[in-house]
Structure 1
Amino acid sequence: MTRTDDLVVIGAGPYGLSIAAHAAGAGLGVRVLGRPMASWRDHMPDGMYLKSEPWSSSLSAPDGRHTLADYCATRGTAAEHGTPLPIGTFSAYGMWFARHAVPEVEEVTVTEVTPHGGGFRVHTAEGPPLLARTVALAVGVMPFVHHPRALRDLPPAHYSHSSGHRGLARFAGSEVAVLGAGQAALETAALLAEQGARPCLVARRARLNWNTLPQPLSRPPLRALREPHSGLGTGWRSWVWSELPWAVHRLPAATRERIAATALGPAGAWWLRDRFERRVPALLGHRLHRATAVGDRTRLELTSRSGEPLVLDASHVIAATGFTPDLDRLELLDAGLRAALETVGQSRTPELSAGFESSWPGLFFAGLLTAPSFGPSMRFVHGAGFTAGRLVGGVRRRLGARGPLPGSTGAARTDRATAGHPKTYLR
């Protein structure tokens, strides 16, 4: 007889792992499907750094343990305020968290999630389907990669997305146009220059925004009150987005859409500015309206804000143009189920309850797709803590229990986070 799990978490990045840790701590029979930290391990070039401060970049466990600082202490290093952290260190931390705070992650590829009875059937490429009473989709950003429309008719070899590169050394000696004005664009361009390429940044914005050097954690009380620290930066506006996602959720849909689209817009990290400005030329205030392949090169036709045309030729184009949350791109979710979901205003993102449950009972969402419901913190690792606790609470309410669930068919497992004090997951 096929067992039915209380919760299947699809995705094993910071959100999926945090949800699984909270679900296991609540006594739920939970399975986690996916490649741990896949976006961080597979889709970011060597040499990149974490933009957020280390103290605001921990994954979330219900007991507050297994923080980034805890991991660094086991390695004899420190995650210090005001010191950028290598992406490789953060990825390794996520893998460590998966080993210590989460039931074993199953590295399978989910191909389809379909309704089944009062729950769901989860199909994978590696074996028979799984049954779940509830499902949490924490699929990260990769399904939502955005390419400017002008690039989409180019041959695939002529352009790529910034998330498509594990390394940039192959561009040494080549002219590369980098599109965008956010951290991904600025850091990609700087890394290209440092590895021997000849990058040029192209951005619609008339000026680049740079974050300022972070203020000390310990400051005079009045200064701290005027500009409080938060997981998303310094200042009251950042504090609201960071600490009050529940309040954002109560706003009208149109307001939430606007906040998700405009709050905490593109900006570069303070530690990147000198590296970028010394080595990378930039065409600011220019809009791309056409791209054509000319032999093995790409010709970009640009227009300035004053309407003046400009042509830029490049060996390759890298679009560091972010991600567009859109349910229609979530192809692993049954098409009929997708079409039935209530959405936020005019967007194609799911309208969610306070517990991250969609209008389809038992189907929960986490991460980028939830930003129009809970605000911009859902675009950052810092949002995983708020999400995990609230979402697992929503799962427990859906299941109708507040502890180990009689009738749950999750296999009996030991919580590796509390070695020596095993928890039992009931059959």
Structure 2
Amino acid sequence: MYDLLIVGAGPYGLSIAAHAEARGLDTRVFGRPMESWRHHMPRGMFLKSEPWASHLSAPGPGLGLDRYCAEHGETARHGRPIPVGTFASYGLWFARQAVANLDERMIARIDAAPTGFLVETEDGQVLHSRAVALATGVLPYMRVPEALRGLAEEHVTHSSQHSDLSRFRDADVTVVGAGQAALETAALLAELPARVRIVARAPELAWNSVPPPWVRPWWKSLRAPHSGLGCGWRNWFYAERPGAFRRLPDRTRAAVTASALGPAGAWWIRDRVAAGGVDVRLGETVVDARPVSGRVRIRTVDAAAGARDFDTDHVIAATGFEADCARMTVLAPRVRSVLARSAGGSPRVGRGFASSYPGLFLAGLVTAADFGPAMRFVHGASYTAPTLVDAVERHLARRPRQGGPVVPRGREHQGPVGVTSRANG
């Protein structure tokens, strides 16, 4: 019987594993390390966050992104964006340094057991654990506008379904959305080249400004301190005090979660969008989409101009992610059905990221409704990992171990546990 099984091997899962193993917990983490960063973002993308705000969390020093870059001839400097590929490689390096028990198999099902949980791998092995941390990232929560949901993947995809955009060379592509994913995807498409348009409900595009220098007069730092989510005291509060954010009134948390750090493009992508000749159509909502002669006919509605129809070869929905208990299908129905939920459908978590089901802990995007906007970013792992492991230890102390070896079912996993050369991310 394990003390803690961690499902998900992205920045949050790896950070939790590093802290849990350092505390001496009998731990195992499942998932393809850095999967979304390695296989669900097109080549040529960059991190929006600053390098110093993109460290995975470890219980000791020396495992930050800056250390990785220094050892591998890369540059990690304030105001200079880091390639997504570099960050993915950093995550694999972190796993090799800090996580001993990494198993690249995916988890098919998490079910309740008298003394904890039964966790079934994709190849049928069942393991018993006293606690589970679910850190599956954002991919289960892709949000696609309702008007596009009836189309096949031949005609519409989510932006997170692409690691290579070259298939769209010389094609006509419509990108729906106004955030960083939409704008950077549009820029990359235009540079192929492709004929690109952006359709967004927003009346105008929002752009983040160039960050101020790291070293600056004290009074400027006092007025607008740096934080892992950008400058300013409000961002500092979201980034550095998630525990205090959780104590805000429900209505306040809900309003902040819905509005803070909304869709915006990084300063360094603005000129590329302009230079690429992207057709930007703002204030338009997609209300209908249907296949016509191998293409897609889109209808949009503008409050001023009314309805407009046009044809395109493919639609990419860069419309973000939306946490919802109903999409946590890795959890058996009897576990998922009893989770407390926010008004928006995301699971509620309490102190220490504990869900309402005893022994089940949650991390990442699904906790943003309670712990704030930082949970949508890598930076949130720095608070989540040690806090969650503290709570796991308290939970285990209340429920003494009662035996329970690994229960094999079906084919046993072959080969050593750990990061392998297989392309998982």
TM-score range, shorter chain: over 0.9
Among residues 339, 342, 348, which one is paired with 1:341 in the alignment? 339
Q: Which residue pairs with 1:364 in the alignment?
A: 361
Q: For structure 2, list consecutive stretches of 5 or more residues without a partner in the other structure.
A: 407-417, 419-425
Counterpart Cα distance in 2 of 1:110 and 1:258: 34
Q: For structure 1, list consecutive stretches of 5 or more residues without a partner in the other structure.
A: 411-415, 417-427
Among residues 262, 265, 287, which one is paired with 1:265 in the alignment? 262
Give 1:243-282 correspondences, 5 Å limit: 243-279=240-276, 280-282=278-280
Counterpart Cα distance in 1 of 2:63 and 2:402: 29
Counterpart Cα distance in 2 of 1:408 and 1:117: 11
Give 1:307 shift.
5.0
Length, aligned pairs only = 406
Give 1:42 shift.
0.8
> CA 1:238/1:292 → structure 2, altered by over 3 Å: closer, same or farther?
same
Give 1:409 shift.
7.3
Q: Which residue pairs with 1:114 in the alignment?
A: 111
Give 1:160 shift.
0.4
Higher mean Cα deviation, 193-202 or 121-130?
Answer: 121-130
Counterpart Cα distance in 2 of 1:33 and 1:408: 19
- Please state if 1:146 is matched with 2:143: yes
Among residues 20, 24, 36, which one is paired with 2:21 in the alignment? 24
Give 1:126 shift.
1.9
Higher mean Cα deviation, 150-159 or 190-199?
Answer: 150-159
> CA 1:409/1:225 → structure 2, altered by over 3 Å: closer, same or farther?
farther
Counterpart Cα distance in 1 of 2:334 and 2:54: 36
Give 1:143-182 correspondences, 5 Å limit: 143-182=140-179
Among residues 241, 247, 262, which one is paired with 2:238 in the alignment? 241
Counterpart Cα distance in 1 of 2:239 and 2:43: 29
The secondary structure found in structure 1 opposite 2:109 is strand
Is the contact between residue 30 and residue 103 of structure 1 (CA under 8 Å) also seen in structure 2? no
- Please state if 1:133 is matched with 2:130: yes
Counterpart Cα distance in 2 of 1:406 and 1:123: 20
Task: Return the letter of the residue paired with 1:161.
Answer: H
What's the RMSD between the two structures over aligned residues? 1.8
> CA 1:305/1:134 → structure 2, altered by over 3 Å: closer, same or farther?
same
Is the contact between residue 179 and residue 203 of structure 1 (CA under 8 Å) also seen in structure 2? yes
- Please state if 1:61 is matched with 2:58: yes
The secondary structure found in structure 2 opposite 1:384 is helix
Give 1:164 shift.
0.6
- Please state if 1:227 is matched with 2:224: yes
Give 1:407 shift.
7.3
Give 1:370 shift.
0.2
Q: Which runs of 4+ in 1 moved over 2 A?
A: 252-255, 405-410
Counterpart Cα distance in 2 of 1:270 and 1:325: 28
Give 1:244 shift.
1.1
Give 1:62 shift.
0.6
Q: Which residue pairs with 1:424 in the alignment?
A: none
Percent sequence identity is 51
Is the contact between residue 55 and residue 68 of structure 1 (CA under 8 Å) also seen in structure 2? yes
TM-score calculated relative to the size of structure 1: 0.92
Counterpart Cα distance in 1 of 2:250 and 2:351: 14
